[in-house]
Chain A
Amino acid sequence: MGTLHVAAAAALTTLVFAGATTAANAEVKIGAVLSATGPASFLGDPEKKTLEMYVADINAKGGINGQQIKLFVYDDGGDPNQARTFGTRLIEEDKVDALLAGSTTATTMAIIPLAEEAKTPLINFAGAVQAVYPVKPWNFKTPHTDLMACEKIFEDLKKRNLTKIAMISGTDAFGKSMHDQCKTVTTKYGIDVLHEETYGPRDSDMTPQLTNIKGKAGVQAVVNPGFGQGPAIVTRNYRQLGITVPLYESHGVGSKQYIDLAGAAAEGVRLPAAALLVAEKLPDNDPQKKVVVDYKKTYEAKTGQPVSTFGGHMYDGLMILVDAMKRAGSADKAKVRNEIEKTRGFMGTGGVVNMSPTDHLGLDLSAFRMLEIKNGDWTLVQ
């Protein structure tokens, strides 16, 4: 009860002070709608922490163009309807200059039309391709797409001359979307998908599906688009059945938890992942090393939690926005939008960003590193 009272009092005081400062001098208002609680909190929570941390830092250093940032953060709990309500509130009530919003694809799709209608720049953090293609004037995105992860895997397969593959994918949003995206680029990379299997997000045994794959003649590698515990079970079953062809996981398993869950079975598994995951292992001459190591250290020191790529997407989004506002010399919505579109050579945690009027994502395949698990740890595939 005590903390609650303190919190309430603190909240009220902040409100009063916030009111006072608004009257005193102009501010840059940035609004965020994130899924900080609920089923997608693994995305929204690190995003929120990163955002609050770096905004405080920027304000301490004097803000943007001499103006302090006033931040509005709302939690949609992963509900697209709630996301749209908070998005409306940010635009209509808080009158923000820019939006950093949308942790999931569903919440993002609910917010994009609002930003387009109100002509407010929006940078979103959704995974799927439809969150940025077709390109809409006011909408930008920082996380790499599942299509890129797939292309990275196919590129590696082609390099190793393994072109006949089988796929086993999760039926959740992540697995489904990535599976569909993979299928769109098979001909581009000359990949033959000989066999396909699926599993539910809460299945505890994938032996039957994998037995089917094992019985299929000519399969040279297996690709597993999936997220959460599913891929770890796939990996264990894979070794139990004694399947020897290479196994590729997706960027959805890019956390230490996967290695812990899969144990020794994870040896030799390859996956595409953001550089953040192997920050310290990057060679010193890697241009991305400084930014990812800095972000990792800052985040882990401030929050006491291991860094995740999702928080990194927010770092990239905030910095792209702040840079654009500095170049624009004001928070004018149209000017800022134009400047975001002109972002070139921005080095973020997700890779080098080169935006253009036809590309509001701006990442290429170098954003992903191909990793292999050796001795229970990530190693870079050269």
Chain B
Amino acid sequence: MVAALQTRAGVMLLAVIILLLPLVLPSPFYFRIATLVFIFALAVLGLNLLMGFAGQVSLGHAGFFGIGAYAVAVGPTHWGIPSWAALILGAVAAGLLAFLVGRPILRLRGHYLAVATLGMGLLIAMVLTNEAQLTGGPDGMPVPRLDLFGWRVRGAMPWYWVSGVTLAIAAWLAANLLDSPTGRALRAIHDSETAASVLGIDLARYKLTAFVLSAVYGAIAGAYLALFDGLVTPATAGFLRSIEFVSMAVLGGLGSILGSVVGATLLVVLPQALTVFHDYEHIVLGLIMIVFMVFLRAGIVPSLAALAVRRKP
């Protein structure tokens, strides 16, 4: 119950930040950074449901991200599907793929899903690179702008609100889910698979639910990034991006909704902030990540929360 309250408070805090942030952001550049944070946080939030609660790792999450991104690029360009419908189709396609991959594999114990998703992610990136007549090949393709009821969504400001509101809703949904029987089952699985199965929890089913949900979150985030940038390349679905997502989730804190946002914020903002170090920025970035992982082992948000609780008399 306490955990649930904390989660709710976290979501409220997030909503307030999204609402008030525009008051202090000085230029479109900062709006772009904030939008990127929201988009990546959305993908990481999905991944965190899988990693933090179902205890499974996906090393090909950028594959789902890429499916969403290319859905809004290919759909409107080649088949005349409106962008918003392509976005939904992309999310459904990613969910279906996750279902097909996850259903047989999640019946097994251990990290088989990590290996399967690793292969899946590489395959998706390969298809996107090689099916050039459809996807534009290695140089990528332009993405038509999103039209919503006659309103053309472009520029950093509108996208700040679209991605911010989506993130808030996604976080609220995730918080609700965790407070539902499904969420309690997922947390039980995370604590002990044996105990959970003794209590009659269908492990495979709940893990599959989390995996499909995380794929859908990832695809929506991918579609947003493609629409926001107006351009997609196979790098969107690349292995490095998958690793970036996992790093964001681990750094921010597994099993923490706010942690997903904090992790995404750090890894989006740091490369911008560290440009003052010129040629040494990568070294500094690596050092900062190591320091965080050494001193805040459970991830930033959960470690700090635990610290705060311990300090209380």
A7 at the A/B interface (Cβ < 8 Å)?
yes
Chain B residues within 8 Å of A, Cβ to Cβ? 27-29, 32-33, 36, 129-130, 132, 137-140, 142, 156, 225, 229-231, 233, 235-236, 271-272, 275-284
How distant is the Cα of A173 from the Cα of B130 in the complex, in angstroms?
10
Q: Are B282 and A37 in contact (CB under 8 A)?
A: yes
Q: Are A82 and B271 in contact (CB under 8 A)?
A: yes
- Within A147-180, the residues touching B (CB, 8 Å) are 171-173, 176-177
How distant is the Cα of A172 from the Cα of B142 in the complex, in angstroms?
19
Beyond contacts A4-B280, A8-B277: 7 other A-B pairs, Cβ-Cβ < 8 A, are A8-B280, A37-B282, A80-B229, A82-B271, A88-B29, A109-B139, A176-B138
Q: Of B129, B138, B276, B279, which is within 8 A of A15 by CB?
A: B276
Q: Are A81 and B140 in contact (CB under 8 A)?
A: no
Q: How far is the CB of B169 from chain A (nearest CB, A)?
A: 24
Q: How far is the CB of A226 from chain B (nearest CB, A)?
A: 13
By a CB distance below 8 angstroms, the chain A residues around B140 are 80, 106, 109
Q: Are A93 and B29 in contact (CB under 8 A)?
A: yes
Please report the total number of A residues contacting B with Cβ < 8 Å. Answer: 33
Interface of A is mostly: helix
- Please judge, given known A-B contacts A7-B277, A7-B280, A92-B28, whether A105 and B229 are in contact too, CB under 8 Å: no
Listed by A's residue number, 5 A-B pairs whose Cβ atoms lie within 8 Å are: A12-B276, A88-B156, A109-B139, A130-B139, A173-B138
Residue ID in chain A nearest B140 by CB atoms: A106
Q: Please provide the 5 A-B residue pairs with the shortest distance between their CB atoms, ordered closest to farther.
A: A173-B138, A92-B29, A106-B233, A105-B139, A92-B27
How distant is the Cα of A85 from the Cα of B268 in the complex, in angstroms?
10
How distant is the Cα of A172 from the Cα of B132 in the complex, in angstroms?
11
By a CB distance below 8 angstroms, the chain A residues around B281 are 75
Q: How far is the CB of B143 from chain A (nearest CB, A)?
A: 11
Q: Are B225 and A81 in contact (CB under 8 A)?
A: yes
Q: Are B280 and A78 in contact (CB under 8 A)?
A: no
Q: Of A4, A74, A88, which is within 8 A of B32 by CB?
A: A88
How distant is the Cα of A130 from the Cα of B278 in the complex, in angstroms?
31
Q: Are B28 and A88 in contact (CB under 8 A)?
A: yes
A110 at the A/B interface (Cβ < 8 Å)?
yes
A197 at the A/B interface (Cβ < 8 Å)?
no
Q: Are B139 and A78 in contact (CB under 8 A)?
A: no
Q: Are B29 and A80 in contact (CB under 8 A)?
A: no
How distant is the Cα of A82 from the Cα of B277 in the complex, in angstroms?
17
Residue ID in chain B nearest A3 by CB atoms: B280
- Within A56-81, the residues touching B (CB, 8 Å) are 74-75, 78-81
By a CB distance below 8 angstroms, the chain B residues around A82 are 271
Q: How far is the CB of A114 from chain B (nearest CB, A)?
A: 10
